[in-house]
A and B are shown apart, each in its own frame.
Chain A
């Protein structure tokens, strides 16, 4: 779980001052959800690890300029989810190109029968997956999701509705 706002500001301040333990506290608080969100959007554990890792590295690189008045989580999640969408889109495009060239399709995501919901989520488009993950894993409101993804709130609501309808039908 993420720490309180006060904890988090203190960790950011400490990390900015060079404290590795404060950085580790931030990492421990935010890694699980960042990794889970990335995994649910891309459906590939290795890619999710890369995406979450890149997001934390971006955080380290821009730590000095980070505005401590802002919460750290939404900033990190925006990077994670946008990169995950880009990755999923790129894989879809690669798959299309490979099919055109009559090459074998890419391997299926590493999911098991025991995870029917995750498997159904994987059948949604990356954009629909992202809003479902932001809403139900990261627990953002539709307005916050709209700001994170840079799309109108109405688009978020319609993607949520459509995504949930598809999931209900599939389950």
Chain B
């Protein structure tokens, strides 16, 4: 078969080659080498940035302002398209058309008309929802299986490489189904708050969810055994386990708390009445937390490089006008991706080492016209 395919005559092959080489040669001649560093929007801003850096050098460690963009919106010299991701892993995002999977080389694919997509453990599959359907997808968009159920919301896939479960909200309640689509059943809670549940990494199928009133529950779902209940927490928006399953990050509207393995508040990262928190995430190593706050019409990306009881450890990494609507760690933890809606840009910010920011513009145009939601950057191989 190989021989036959290699000798297959393709119409117009020689001419196609000549035409393509001409186009490629012209593009090569017109190209400009990529800039090695990011210039800010106007020269005056360079001065502002230098002043900021000077201030940073004089301020206590951990409070350094790594970069700052003042009045203009967007990073200049951003790439005009996402030619590649800076690092390993694949990025799952969701636009109005549905979820897209972006490969490290920048190629991307619309998986289909689904919503609320998220990764399975280790990035092997993707789960998404339609109005009355829960759908498990191959990463290239093929439907692996689907389950017709009314009013499916916030599906989340957890477990090990060989034994997984998917939790999802249906109406006011919570349900769990095995990773092969079998055994769909109610899961330990008739009524839950409208917050996505979160699986603790590992084999015990422990699920955290928020009950009405803001109490976080952790259940071993196979036996429906309550493991712990937290105190009542206000306005909970999202839950995320640390990669080793020892801590749970609880993002409130204006709060950020880390619960320990028994559901007690171990770190309360923000002061009372802090600015609204738009996004937060554990680093892949689980020792750091990044988060975004919105205050005075400007968003700020903060990094808590090492979790500890005092609140002084946060470092400001980047800020800009408008809302940073999403946040994702690269699988190796070396970068943070910030989705900057007003600038129509994605900004990749280095978390350690030399200061470096890379940006990509025209994000809406590349994802069907709507600014996509970040749904996860997965996974280190």
- Taking Cβ atoms with an 8 Å cutoff, the residues of A that contact B are 15, 20, 23-24, 27, 31-32, 35-36, 39-40, 45, 48-49, 52-53, 56-58, 60-65, 75, 78-79, 82-83, 85-86, 89, 110, 114-115, 117-118, 127, 133, 136-137, 139, 147, 149-152, 155, 167
> B140 near A127 (CB under 8 angstroms)?
yes
In the complex, how many angstroms separate the beta carbon of B101 from the nearest chain A beta carbon?
Answer: 7
Q: Which residues of B, 73-103, contact A by the 8 Å Cβ criterion?
A: 81, 83-84, 90, 101, 103
A-B interface pairs (CB < 8 A), number = 122
Q: Which A residues touch B28, using CB under 8 A?
A: 15, 20, 23, 60
In the complex, how many angstroms separate the beta carbon of B31 from the nearest chain A beta carbon?
Answer: 6
In the complex, how many angstroms separate the beta carbon of A49 from the nearest chain B beta carbon?
Answer: 4
Q: Which B residues touch A49, using CB under 8 A?
A: 12, 16, 19-20
Q: Which A residues touch B124, using CB under 8 A?
A: 152
> A27 near B24 (CB under 8 angstroms)?
yes
> A45 near B2 (CB under 8 angstroms)?
no
Q: Answer yes or no: B60 CB below 8 A from chain A CBs.
A: no
Q: Which B residues touch A31, using CB under 8 A?
A: 17, 20-21
21 contacts between A and B (CB under 8 A): A15-B28, A20-B28, A24-B21, A32-B17, A35-B10, A49-B12, A56-B20, A57-B23, A61-B81, A63-B31, A65-B34, A65-B83, A65-B84, A82-B109, A85-B140, A110-B11, A117-B8, A137-B2, A151-B138, A151-B139, A155-B138
A36 contacts which of B8, B12, B20, B24 (Cβ < 8 Å)? B8
A27 vs B19: C-alpha distance when bound (angstroms): 12
Known contacts A118-B8, A155-B138; decide if A60 and B109 are in contact (CB<8 Å).
no
> B83 near A45 (CB under 8 angstroms)?
no
> A60 near B10 (CB under 8 angstroms)?
no
> A53 near B106 (CB under 8 angstroms)?
no
Chain A contact surface mostly: helix
In the complex, how many angstroms separate the beta carbon of A22 from the nearest chain B beta carbon?
Answer: 10
The count of residues in chain B whose C-beta lies closer than 8 Å to any C-beta of chain A is 43
In the complex, how many angstroms separate the beta carbon of A115 from the nearest chain B beta carbon?
Answer: 6
> A53 near B23 (CB under 8 angstroms)?
yes
Known contacts A35-B17, A49-B20; decide if A78 and B107 are in contact (CB<8 Å).
yes
- Taking Cβ atoms with an 8 Å cutoff, the residues of B that contact A are 1-2, 4-6, 8-13, 16-17, 19-21, 23-25, 27-29, 31, 33-34, 81, 83-84, 90, 101, 103, 105-107, 109, 124-125, 138-142, 381
Q: Which B residues touch A127, using CB under 8 A?
A: 140, 142
Known contacts A35-B10, A52-B20; decide if A64 and B34 are in contact (CB<8 Å).
yes
Q: Which B residues touch A15, using CB under 8 A?
A: 28
Known contacts A58-B106, A75-B105, A79-B107; decide if A36 and B140 are in contact (CB<8 Å).
no
Q: Which B residues touch A151, using CB under 8 A?
A: 138-140
B10 contacts which of A39, A65, A114 (Cβ < 8 Å)? A39
Known contacts A61-B31, A136-B1; decide if A35 and B8 are in contact (CB<8 Å).
no
